[in-house]
A = this chain, B = another copy of it.
């Protein structure tokens, strides 16, 4: 039982080696102005030589203002968010803040994570990317620092007015837009791959838009054509889309078209159709939602609703900083999507 381990090197060691006080080393590390170039260099050399790395826990504990923004992403697997994160990182760095990303699973509470992080890192603000904020008001109040809701299912009924800063698309409108488009292509029996049965967020809204479009065109809503995601499969995933489509194909319900509430599910649908020996768009049209990069590369290229993720990301961060600087109150910006008409949809075959 020897103690041959952990001679961890601290700021004191560096100070001792350089024959200076710890505060001088601290100043050197944090680029304070009031330090002579000579001592600063000496300290830098010692740090390099001994491979000293400051302990972040200690720093965070002592620090008042971390100059740090957290981006809390719900759903690692959403490829849409990869771009958003990158843009946010650039914007945050541009303002001399540091950024910390935290990915949370669908079964985790993003607000709890943020609250914990805020304490730990002395955050200046938080960007919530994705996630639903239904019945989270109380929790959000416990988060004492400014935050924005980005690409969140936040135009939900529950979250009204200017309580929060929200940057998102109008899921109802976009659900309508796509459905309307599909109907104009001649489709009447449009199956839909939607969210969870108890979804109260984007899935619910897109579905609402779908139904409204049908009604306006005088088409009855057929509940049998509304499929819900499986709870035990990753949400909005290819596999979930695949499974739902298989059910459709083996069922007795007729349909000519599938509207999936994510591009990933649309791709799953395409594969299921191919596996059944049918063709997209000849036998069935398939449309997605999101505008992920893969939709471009897929064969056939996916017809979809493209979310302006770049603008959303940019605007979210910009506004967060304006709020931090007290230059702005909460705002709520709804972004318009673009309907990309591509290869996976076509006019309904006239028999």
Residues of A within 8 A of B (CB): 5-6, 8, 51, 53-58, 60-61, 76-77, 82, 101, 103, 115-116, 119-121, 142, 144, 238-239, 242, 267-268, 270-271, 274, 293-294, 296-300
Chain B residues contacting A8 (CB-CB under 8 Å) are: 119
Partner of A294, one of B53, B82, B294, B300: B294
**CB-nearest residue of chain B to A60:** B57
**CB-nearest residue of chain B to A7:** B144
CB distance from A63 to the nearest CB of B (A): 9
**CB-nearest residue of chain B to A279:** B299
**Distance, CA A76 to CA B5, complexed state (A):** 33
Q: Is the CB of A119 within 8 A of B270?
A: no
Chain B residues contacting A274 (CB-CB under 8 Å) are: 299
CB distance from A129 to the nearest CB of B (A): 13
Known: A53-B119, A271-B297. 16 other contacts (CB 8 A): A51-B142, A56-B57, A56-B116, A56-B119, A57-B57, A57-B119, A57-B120, A57-B121, A61-B61, A77-B82, A238-B293, A242-B297, A267-B297, A268-B297, A270-B297, A270-B299
**CB-nearest residue of chain B to A100:** B102
**CB-nearest residue of chain B to A55:** B119
Q: Quick one: copies of this chain in the complex?
A: 2
Q: Is the CB of B115 within 8 A of A53?
A: yes
Question: Can you report 8 residue pairs joining A to B where beta carbons are below 8 Å apart?
Answer: A5-B144, A56-B116, A57-B57, A76-B76, A274-B299, A298-B298, A298-B299, A299-B299
Chain B residues contacting A268 (CB-CB under 8 Å) are: 297
Chain B residues contacting A142 (CB-CB under 8 Å) are: 51
CB distance from A5 to the nearest CB of B (A): 7
Partner of A61, one of B57, B77, B300: B57
**A-B interface, 5 closest residue pairs, ranked by CB to CB distance from nearest:** A56-B120, A57-B60, A57-B61, A299-B299, A271-B297
**Distance, CA A267 to CA B301, complexed state (A):** 12
**CB-nearest residue of chain B to A64:** B6
Chain B residues contacting A58 (CB-CB under 8 Å) are: 57, 61
Chain B residues contacting A239 (CB-CB under 8 Å) are: 293
Chain B residues contacting A294 (CB-CB under 8 Å) are: 238, 267, 294
CB distance from A267 to the nearest CB of B (A): 5
**Distance, CA A101 to CA B101, complexed state (A):** 10
**Distance, CA A125 to CA B142, complexed state (A):** 34
**Given A6-B144, A61-B58, A294-B294 in contact, is the A116-B53 Cβ separation under 8 Å?**
yes
**CB-nearest residue of chain B to A300:** B299
Chain B residues contacting A298 (CB-CB under 8 Å) are: 298-299
**Distance, CA A296 to CA B60, complexed state (A):** 45
CB distance from A144 to the nearest CB of B (A): 7
Chain B residues contacting A297 (CB-CB under 8 Å) are: 238, 242, 267-268, 270-271
**Distance, CA A277 to CA B101, complexed state (A):** 42
Chain B residues contacting A242 (CB-CB under 8 Å) are: 297
CB distance from A114 to the nearest CB of B (A): 11
Chain B residues contacting A51 (CB-CB under 8 Å) are: 142
